[in-house]
A = this chain, B = another copy of it.
């Protein structure tokens, strides 16, 4: 026998039930984006490699899926190329295209390419899969969906305010309790300046970003390894460990950063965001977290991250302000800010907490049992009318044994079954069976449709 077919590691098939759940997540997020005036765009799965390379660091370049050129892809490649070049270099000779690695870079490319058609500020959302040649592991896939909302062409902090509202609304609608963490890259830059290590800003953010994972001692070890002076590490301690209310943290930091302009600007920005949000009564807490750094280097202002309160999982949403993302494609001076929802992690959280609405489970509401060709012919016009009324229904296509047809209804969790035999045909009626209660009623076609509306 042929070997059972399989799919590439790190990828997934989604069956009917999983799709219903995923669609629930996507449509919830989409509806919120839309409420806030964000418009959907889509970009191709394949981008030119020149668009993607160099945007995600060396590691990212390696993780790009590259498409082998069509036709005679070896043409023009010399023996020397083959013998002497690194895999990475050679790959760019064999491939001109790669699969999308995230939605942010394609979005920046889109804005630059279509700038003449766009009205700024441009609020777009995008829900599409991305691909990364990462080592697959639990919760990490090679194909996964991102759900991004960004505004470009506006410096206003009201955009940050709205993005926090969007996060709050999405998770309220999904029933997931979260904590929204807020920080600002300018505060981090101010802190680096304060401790006299401005040139080590990246090392510092990378290290303190890991506080949750490796603890304070771990962070300090990393800071020392990065070459921070003992004095600087010492000076950083009270800041990393800062606790208290948002207001208390802000007051302490305002003191600490006195005279450091960038840092104070960052504090002012988060203060504005938090004060503007206050009268809007978010359903989830907003926390100033000075250790929040976020890995991506293009962030320049406010940054956000969302943690689920009732599930052990990494961040399920995050984002921030980037002042010059389109600069990499030659369009300077366009500021943007955005957030991204991790659909796969949200899916895991909803599963863990069993938060899906119950009516998701099935699509078909009514199955017509098939006792033979005469009975089927009798049912077909009724089925057509039921569908016209918007009721999802099926006729079992074969006149199989009753038991088999009922098993089918149960397996698909179809809540109602219509049964038509000689008696029903003579009476011009149908028997409607409620699969939950077992109750059966003899109804006219019109009554049957009314009963299910």
Q: A10 to nearest B CB, angstroms?
A: 9
Please judge, given known A-B contacts A40-B23, A162-B395, whether A412 and B68 are in contact too, CB under 8 Å: no
Q: A262 to nearest B CB, angstroms?
A: 22
How does the 8 Å CB contact mask read for A2-21 relative to B, with 1 for contact and 0 for none? 11111110011111100110
| A119–B46 CA distance with the chains assembled, in angstroms | 36
Chain B positions within 8 Å of A377 at CB level? 276, 279
Instruction: Report yes or no: B380 in contact with A124, Cβ–Cβ below 8 A.
Output: no
Chain B positions within 8 Å of A51 at CB level? 5, 7
Chain B positions within 8 Å of A23 at CB level? 40
Instruction: Report yes or no: A73 in contact with B87, Cβ–Cβ below 8 A.
Output: yes
Instruction: Report yes or no: A280 in contact with B121, Cβ–Cβ below 8 A.
Output: no
One of B1, B12, B41, B113 near A7 (C-beta < 8 A): B113
A393 within 8 A of B: yes
A39 within 8 A of B: yes
A371 within 8 A of B: no
**Interface core residue of A37, A113, A161 (most chain B CB under 10 Å):** A37
What is the count of identical protomers in the complex?
2
Q: How large is the interface on A (under 10, 10 to 19, 20 to 34, 35 or more residues)?
A: 35 or more
A156 within 8 A of B: yes
Say which one of A88-96, A292-300, A310-318 lies at the interface with B. Answer: A88-96
Instruction: Report yes or no: A143 in contact with B45, Cβ–Cβ below 8 A.
Output: yes
Chain B positions within 8 Å of A392 at CB level? 34-37
- Measured CB to CB, the nearest residue on chain B to A66 is B68
- Measured CB to CB, the nearest residue on chain B to A14 is B42
| A142–B34 CA distance with the chains assembled, in angstroms | 30
One of B43, B45, B82 near A131 (C-beta < 8 A): B45
Chain B positions within 8 Å of A364 at CB level? 37
Q: A220 to nearest B CB, angstroms?
A: 35
Instruction: Report yes or no: B330 in contact with A158, Cβ–Cβ below 8 A.
Output: no
Q: A61 to nearest B CB, angstroms?
A: 11
| A63–B8 CA distance with the chains assembled, in angstroms | 20
How does the 8 Å CB contact mask read for A143-161 relative to B, with 1 for contact and 0 for none? 1000000010011101101
Please judge, given known A-B contacts A37-B363, A39-B16, whether A46 and B82 are in contact too, CB under 8 Å: no
CB<8 Å pairs between A and B, sample of 24: A3-B330, A4-B112, A5-B329, A5-B330, A7-B46, A11-B44, A14-B42, A34-B363, A36-B387, A37-B367, A37-B393, A38-B363, A39-B412, A45-B129, A46-B143, A65-B68, A68-B94, A72-B87, A79-B79, A119-B411, A162-B395, A162-B397, A276-B380, A280-B381
What 8 pairs between A and B have smallest CB-CB spacing? A2-B330, A37-B394, A16-B39, A11-B44, A156-B397, A119-B411, A37-B364, A70-B133
